[in-house]
Copies of this chain bind each other. A is one copy, B any other.
Amino acid sequence: MTQLHAVNLHDYAALAQERLAPEAWAYLAGGAGDEATLADNAAAWAALKLLPRVLRPLHPGHTQVELLGRTWAHPIGLAPVAAHGLFHPEAEAGTVLAAAAQGAACALSSQGSTPWAELVALVKDEPGRGPLWAQGYWQGSLTRTLALFEQAAKAGMEAIVFTVDAPVHGARDRERRAGFVLPAELSKANAVLGSHPPLPAFEAPPLCAGLLVHAPTWAELQALIAASPLPVIVKGLLHPDDAMQARDLGAAAGWVSNHGGRTLDTVLPTAAALPAIRAAVGPAWPLIVDGGIRRGTDVLKALALGASAAFIGRPAVQALAVEGARGVAHAIRLLRDEFEIALALCGCATPAQLHPGLIHKA
């Protein structure tokens, strides 16, 4: 139990910082460079001004969305974060149980502390649970990458989240100053057989060192989608043209993300990137968004601007650090309630009624 009763996601961040070792906190909370994008992501949602409507029928209302062939209880999900074992002994098990209990979508990193199969088994039969997705990177070859994702399919995952915005590690000064190195024993639960060249670290510059030979291109994405045992969601889109290309290659959905400001700094915040991407890909193709979502009003704005769902990364792991599964469930509940209230206060009975006109054009 915590002394400060958390009433919003900010509280969980503050409580987690108190509890975690400085290096773990640096890894969890930090971003690339001067952390401008980290701050901009959250500020960009907050800066959007709502123009709510009144006296509209709110009954019968609900927060459900239809997405990727399934009904979600609400449009909030958990973005993939590596190595939950760093933050709490319950690790990914705590996270996945909490997500299931709150009906939230859950994307689980390939660099987790717990094998996917174990995690899916924990919640597979939970009636109200949200979708379970496996997230991974290109593994140097199509064969190896498919091996990873077949592992996910076999475990019972419903989709693949394929991250394309981190062909090399970003320069995370906070981590480097704290001397943080991701412990192998907490991040290799889903590693494929054989030794894969790790993502090139900052000290070994990628271009000259030739490590980028292994970085994937659109051709590799196309092959991956064709051969994948599961629908592929392409994560890390900021440019409308890239989103259109992913859609045209058959990706099941796009994920607007700047990797939470952890790879490249001074990047366009996702709230600013989303509208042009929605306009480019048309109304039908599902779009996930993450980056700076901290309030129910942020979720609402994301959907009003064209997102199909909004995902949180750091906040859920911060809640895990504070109270394990109980903290994560509470954090999702807080955000979900805030979203529901915001929906009603904007005059919308359901998420489907959200539209860009609810955001004031400055």
Which A residues contact B (CB, under 8 angstroms)? 5, 7-8, 10, 33-34, 36, 40, 46-63, 164-171, 173, 176-177, 202-203, 205-208, 210, 212-213, 215-218, 220-221, 236-239, 241-242, 245, 263-269, 272-273, 295-297, 336-338, 340-346, 349, 360
Contact = CB atoms under 8 A, between A and B. Distances in A.
Nearest to A209: B340
A63 B7 CA distance: 46
Contact of A345 (B165, B241, B272): B165
A295 B35 CA distance: 12
A167 to B, nearest CB: 6
A207 B55 contact: no
A207 B343 contact: yes
Contacts of A59: 210, 212-213, 215
A58 B345 contact: no
Given A54-B164, A170-B341, A344-B167, A266 B48 contact: yes
18 contacts: A33-B297, A33-B338, A47-B266, A52-B165, A53-B239, A55-B216, A55-B242, A56-B217, A58-B215, A59-B215, A63-B208, A165-B345, A171-B337, A203-B337, A207-B340, A207-B349, A212-B349, A268-B360
